[in-house]
Structure 1
Amino acid sequence: MLRWVAIVAAVGVLGTAGAAYGYYEYLSGKIRKGERVSGRTTVAKPKANANGTSAMNILILGSDSRLSDADKALGGAADSAGARADVIMIAHLSADRSNMSLVSIPRDTRVDIPQCEDPKTHKTYAPTNTIINASLGRGGPGCTLATVQNLTNVYIDHWLMIDFSGVVKMADVLGGVEVCVEHSVWDRPTAAIPHGGSGLKLTKGTHIVKDKQALQWLRTRDAFGDDSGRAKAQHMYMSSLIRRLRGENLFTNPGRLNKIATTAMGAFEVSSEIGTPKKLYDLGMELKSIPPERMTMLTMPHIADPQAPAAHYLPARDASTVWSLVRNDVAMDTNGKAKAPGAATASPTPAAPSGPPAAAPGSIGVSVVNGTAGTAGNPAVGHRATAIATALKTAGFTQADPARTAHPSPGTGVVYPAGAGEQGRADATSVAAALKIPVSDVKPSTSAQVVTVTVGADWKSGTDYSATLPKAGGVPAGADAMNGADTGKCMPIQPVYRWAG
């Protein structure tokens, strides 16, 4: 959304009679770029739908880097071990460009980070299991992108990153953004958390935050309760920013446009495939027509991490529902018009694999695993593996059998032996098709001996996986969703951070 400001502003300047090639080159020179992906990931880009359009997913990152003097002054200690991703969001733009969603992933979520290579130093980082914000320092935004793709099975088209000083510059040039708190707040060190505190200090009610105060709002954690509360405050900021921009006619003031465009181009770093003013403008035009009531902002449902329950999270079972909504391009809101019976869907069709045709169904060995428990410690649905294996036998896959051991999994998927190459993928895809599992959920595995179907917690009944796909507005309660048109929300404040102001 901040990028949208830069994009619209840039094209406004470029579109005036006085815009010249030299100015375009000037803006181009201010754009910082990096590789789209720098980590191992097998998530493939879906094909466009029958109308020739595709959904678009953009990873938005807020970096806590202290590399520049400006960032050191704003962020405190300059000896932090590498950059970390303070903000991780997926912006999803629907294929028909009628709606969008913004999903935050709490920065303290423990995940598998794949092998990554830093594009600048060429240093290789081994796979690890740790909190997701560490991915940025293990190969840059491209490593975070690969980590997010592997976590969600959502293909990410582009990334955008802004650091501390960039947030302050943008808030300053825009004149601030309206936010609201239920109580007077002072986020400062306390006896319980002596190292904490963003410094945010506001009286009860609405305020226009800008300059360093905007950064304090976006960084506040403890006063808002936890990382989930911080994400909600960030959503409030983004919603307010969008409404503010839509309420202004920026194109009537060339001087203001010039200032915003110049500031924005220098504030962001973007993935290289969109690293020109023209491409950023084209992307911005995709977003400008979506009304606030068709924008939904939410947080990935999460639970306490047993390894560090007071500090870290794991994805909750309902997280798979959120990612299913995104992967299948289902609107998070219910404010759209219902499609007429038989109307073409706007959802992108997964790319069909290239390579050899699948073997005859009866010759493909298939193991079916019951993963309906979701996570360890939860009860599984009895006989699910047997039911799916039976359905596959009926479809001609006579060598399909239930596995002897259950393996909890939040989501359903199909894997095949990595050594089987394209033939293995073709065989696995034919198995997935029989159960109506999307091709995007078919992946290679170094441990699988045969094609393996894991029936996850998102598929507890029936033999048609497509019937489990969520309906419009089917956002789980744990996602704490906020509609972009909602202006009546104020952030609650933890008692210890309230003051008598």
Structure 2
Amino acid sequence: MGQSSRVHGEGTEPGAVPGVPGPGGPSEPGGADGREGQEGRRPGRGRRTLRWSATTLSVLILGTAGAGYLYYEHLNGNIHKGARSSGDSKARKAAPNAAGQTPLNILLIGSDSRNSDENVELGGARKDRGTPPRGDVQMLIHLAADRKSASVVSIPRDTRVDIPRCTDPETGRTYPPVNTIINASLARGGAGCTLATWQNLTGVYIDHWMTIDFAGVVKMADAIGGVEVCVEQNVWDRPLPGVPGGSGLKMRAGHHKVQGVQALQWLRTRHAWGSDPLRARAQHMYMNSMIRTLKAQNVFTDTGRLTDLAEAATRSLHVSEEIGTVKKLYDLGTQLKTVPTDRITMTTLPTVADPEDPNHLIAAGADADRVWDMLRDDVPFDGKGGKPGAGKPSEAAGKASGDPAAADGAIGVLVRNATRSSTLGPVGGRAAALARHLVDEGFTKAAADTSPATSEERTVVRYPSAELAGDAQRVAKSLGIPAGSVKRSADVSGVTVVVGADWRTGTAYPKQPSPKAGDLPGDADALNGSDAGKCMDVYAPYRW
């Protein structure tokens, strides 16, 4: 199981709203932006759980943004927009299935921005005002191509990953690639950099991002009108000797409806659950309960409720520019509303302790890869549906091109090493070895790209224009690479074999096992959206 150790040192910020445990805290030393630090030295770490509600609220607005039609232009004016991607990423949209459908992927980000009086008051840490925000809650919602299921993956904020080269679209500043914890990505080029980071990590093309801040969290917590949560034992998340801080959450064992301050306390609680992955579980419970609550109520026909929710959300919502109107958000919502709660599966990326820093995490090898494989192949997390081939590209996507291939010896081929993964370093000499193999096979113009190794989860063959499609497919066939992995791309100038992390040895592309519906690793901590019987276990020191 990939969980971090029991937590210590979470504190309450000066300047917090009375009665609301301040989610702020001292800046964290180290890391890309100077705010990464050891767990035992993080007295303000608990403040950032608040961003979880940003994630839930983003989902909420997707389901209820029809209220925007009541005063369309007003709400449109509330919405802030930004570039979809601001980082180096080569992920491509999935090919349509046999019915011509494609999945929809939305990245939800909770920001700890303190760039307004309201957010400073809620988040404390006045000294952080004006500093780039961090993305401490990050979650990918994958809506299946057939729109019958939704799979959700959270990544703990202290998971170390490769963040690509990013350029901030507002300042024009360019940040070099770095290997550090994922929450730093938001400060290195905005949400578009976080999106590019996720695409490189997962190999999944992400259609949109959405972020929300403290102020929106507070407004929406009240607008929802209460969400039911449950604890196994009496809980009191309070300061203890040697462990300052805590959210202040105090309730007796059993089911309770929380809203306002108490909802924020639930979402911020970390000490009483024991770790970041366990806090993610509590957040998933809250999110599923909220979705069930909204479906059970008359929200979608209650004009007053819809207006309140839409007003609160759009005032703090920041979205990628291609969905920057209420109409487009509403269209997304209509797709998400079709998924029944029992086909929604919340998970957390399997992780293990980072060998470079025990207070951080890294993706858990094969278990993490299986989660990403299921997303890339559009395989349901819940074990329902998932007919053979349902998540695979249509036959048309894998058919040979009508463009005839040139003679093998006349085809120029560049081989690029992209074998580095989120957990393994690159395989040295990989491009050269496969280029030599191609030459031996008659592709005498094959050559290795001598640039530094990059990272792609899956091997692909790319070509720049239609007249090279046949050549690319001929090269792929000679190496055993599936036709569905041959992609047209403006990022290459000729036929290019990009050797991914899935092909680290040998000269014949290994046959890839197809994941099955519901085949999640046990440490993904899956939670079904219809399961109302789950309760959080309280870490013993915080029971009363």
TM-score (norm 1): 0.80
Q: Is 1:413 aligned with 2:488?
A: no
Q: Distance in 2 between matches of 1:455 and 1:317?
A: 12
1:190-209 equivalences under 5 Å are: 190-194=240-244, 196-209=245-258
Deviation at 1:494, TM superposition (A): 1.8
Q: Is 1:182 aligned with 2:232?
A: yes
- Tell me what 2:357 maps to: 308
**Structure 1 residues 264 and 315, CA, compared in 2 at 3 Å: closer, same or farther?**
same
**Structure 1 residues 4 and 412, CA, compared in 2 at 3 Å: closer, same or farther?**
closer
- Tell me what 1:103 maps to: 153
Q: Which SS does the other structure have where 1:155 is aligned?
A: coil
Q: Distance in 1 between matches of 2:491 and 2:328?
A: 36
2:123 paired residue among 75, 87, 105:
75
Q: Which amino acid aligns with 1:136?
A: L
Q: Which SS does the other structure have where 1:89 is aligned?
A: strand
Q: Distance in 1 between matches of 2:505 and 2:192?
A: 35
1:17-416 equivalences under 5 Å are: 19=70, 23-80=71-128, 81-194=131-244, 196-336=245-385, 338=387, 345=390, 347-348=392-393, 360-361=407-408, 375=423, 411-414=457-460
What is the count of residue pairs matched by the alignment? 470
Q: Which amino acid aligns with 1:435?
A: I
Deviation at 1:306, TM superposition (A): 1.1
**Structure 1 residues 231 and 399, CA, compared in 2 at 3 Å: closer, same or farther?**
farther
Per-residue CA deviations over 1:407-435 (Å, capped at 9, x if unaligned) read: 9x99543588xxx9779998666555533
Deviation at 1:29, TM superposition (A): 0.9
- Tell me what 1:468 maps to: 513
Q: Distance in 1 between matches of 2:386 and 2:502?
A: 31
Q: Which amino acid aligns with 1:495?
A: A
Q: Which amino acid aligns with 2:519?
A: G
- Tell me what 1:483 maps to: 528
- Tell me what 1:494 maps to: 539
Deviates more, 1:163-172 or 1:305-314: 305-314
Q: Distance in 1 between matches of 2:250 and 2:398?
A: 50
**Structure 1 residues 59 and 440, CA, compared in 2 at 3 Å: closer, same or farther?**
farther
Q: Quick check: 2:398–2:484 contact (8 Å CA) kept in 1?
A: no
Q: Which SS does the other structure have where 1:79 is aligned?
A: helix
**Structure 1 residues 397 and 245, CA, compared in 2 at 3 Å: closer, same or farther?**
farther
List runs of 5+ in structure 1 lacking aligned partners: 402-406
Q: Which SS does the other structure have where 1:309 is aligned?
A: strand
Deviation at 1:334, TM superposition (A): 1.6
Per-residue CA deviations over 1:10-39 (Å, capped at 9, x if unaligned) read: 42563xxxx4xxx21111111121111111
Deviation at 1:5, TM superposition (A): 3.5
TM-score (norm 2): 0.74
2:502 paired residue among 456, 464, 488:
456
Q: Is 1:5 aligned with 2:60?
A: yes
Q: Distance in 2 between matches of 1:103 and 1:4?
A: 13
Deviation at 1:88, TM superposition (A): 0.4
Per-residue CA deviations over 1:158-187 (Å, capped at 9, x if unaligned) read: 011111221121110011211112222233
Q: Distance in 2 between matches of 1:395 and 1:483?
A: 50
Q: Distance in 1 between matches of 2:513 and 2:507?
A: 9
Deviation at 1:480, TM superposition (A): 1.1
- Tell me what 1:404 maps to: none
Q: Which amino acid aligns with 2:290?
A: L
Q: Which amino acid aligns with 2:61?
A: A
Q: Distance in 1 between matches of 2:125 and 2:179?
A: 26
**Structure 1 residues 351 and 436, CA, compared in 2 at 3 Å: closer, same or farther?**
closer
Q: Which amino acid aligns with 1:2?
A: L
Deviation at 1:113, TM superposition (A): 1.0
Per-residue CA deviations over 1:452-475 (Å, capped at 9, x if unaligned) read: 635638x99997756512011111
Q: Distance in 1 between matches of 2:122 and 2:310?
A: 23
Q: Which amino acid aligns with 2:482?
A: K
Q: Quick check: 2:212–2:317 contact (8 Å CA) kept in 1?
A: yes
Q: Which amino acid aligns with 2:275?
A: D
Q: Which amino acid aligns with 1:213?
A: Q
Q: Distance in 1 between matches of 2:169 and 2:78?
A: 20
Q: Distance in 2 between matches of 1:27 and 1:368?
A: 47
**Structure 1 residues 305 and 410, CA, compared in 2 at 3 Å: closer, same or farther?**
farther
Deviates more, 1:93-102 or 1:344-353: 344-353
Say what the alpha-carbon RMSD is for the aligned residues.
4.2
**Structure 1 residues 454 and 63, CA, compared in 2 at 3 Å: closer, same or farther?**
closer
Q: Quick check: 1:374–1:456 contact (8 Å CA) kept in 2?
A: no
List runs of 5+ in structure 2 lacking aligned partners: 1-55, 448-452
Q: Quick check: 1:369–1:455 contact (8 Å CA) kept in 2?
A: no
